Structure 1
Amino acid sequence: MDTKGKKILIADDEPDILEIIQYNLQGEGYEVYTARDGDEALMRAKQIKPDLIILDIMMPKKTGVEVCEILRTQPSFKDTLIIFLTALSDESSQLKGLDTGADDYVNKPISPKLLLSRVNALFRRVNKKEAATNSVLHIDNMIIDPVKFIVMVDAEEKTLAKKEFELLYLLASRPGRVFLRNEILNQVWGNDVIVGDRTIDVHIRKIRQKLGLDCITTVKGVGYKFSL
């Protein structure tokens, strides 16, 4: 994979972790920058405009989750890839991280080879999506624009988190078709990201709430389909 020109920002308050991650990513050809706390991570992100950010969840000044939430509210960081580093292994913590707009998480203690594999996998997925033709969807009173990353319902713009948008776009691209749970996980989160069925359920519920529409139907024991 061509890594030339790809910029990665790593934010962690442990110098040894920063050093080993930086060493491995630079060895792969990435341009790597570092930050020691949440405030510095925000400042450097705005300066560097990285393609991917690796955030430790438990950082001083601002946590990784807080940094992610702030970045996702800014249009210039809506498509930036974000990976969480976490020592928290419970499902609720992982769901919270993904729900804020992260693309993946890696548990501590870190395996540099695993982290590098996840980074490469995320970039491959982005390249595939960019190569594909993503057209604007017009369905009754709804418009879903994957270029501008917006959803309009009755001419009113609705704000969705990145994964919520990707999930809605997938289902709405084939109205009436039932998507299996594994199929949704693979296409929205990717084969290399380990998330549970509950992750889909949480995102579906939030999409319904934010759109104010019961536009996604649960097919019990099978999956989901889009219908207006």
Structure 2
Amino acid sequence: MDSILCSGKYHDVLALCGLGPRELGMQLSDPNLEPLELPSWVPDFRLNTQHEPIGYADIASWNTGGSNVGEVTISEDELRIQSYVIDRVSDIGPVIRSWNKDNVKEVLERAFKLSSTRTNPKQLTAGEVPSESTVRTIARALLLADGKHVGKKFSEKLRLRSDNRMMFGGESGTIGLCKRMTEPVDVVCVFPGCRFPFTVRPQSDQGDFSHSLTVTPLRAQLVGWCYVDGMMNGEGLGDGTKTNFILAEVEDEFRV
């Protein structure tokens, strides 16, 4: 991990890390497998953690963190990484289980409720109400001549990749899908060079994250990657609060 992350080329390996991938991996692995006390930013390669991000093709379809990779340093059990803080999670919905019709109805109702309260106009398309924009954002790229076939293939991918996720809404109006271990007050951020955003959980005694900037790095735990509507192609790099995070070892105050 040291050589992979510090080389400045493979930050996307963090998609295998965090509380969310670890929980899912334990569920899909040998029930006799003992969990390891690993830092949240270190993947447990014993586990089956493959769970692709939401997208209309593959992870290459997004470019959230842009092409410039931020500085990364590793010291003992800590990973120091540059980040742009986009929002703080304020509301989360039920876990998505696409095979359950009642659950799907509940999730859709929550999605439209969150969409109707969005306040950030940069995320909206002209002429659409917020809920319409949310539904159309991913699907817009699928309006091809053979759209019916493409749409069916995309629909199946979207269903599989949405299972075990939750809807979330942020204090600043963002909306998206996150790992089911995400909690209110978790921070949504973008790591330069990563193709998708992440949620992290700052240590509780550090005060308001938005005023810390790079002066005092924030100690946090990696929760997992997420999908943020309207923020998947570098939009957050200019507007986010630039912050340094120390992704630390699993300490007692972090345990869920």
Q: Name the structure with the higher helix share.
A: 1
What interval of TM-score do these two structures reach, taking the shorter chain for normalisation?
Answer: under 0.3
Higher relative contact order structure (alpha carbons within 8 Å, sequence separation ≥ 6): 2
TM-score relative to the length of structure 2: 0.26
TM-score relative to the length of structure 1: 0.28
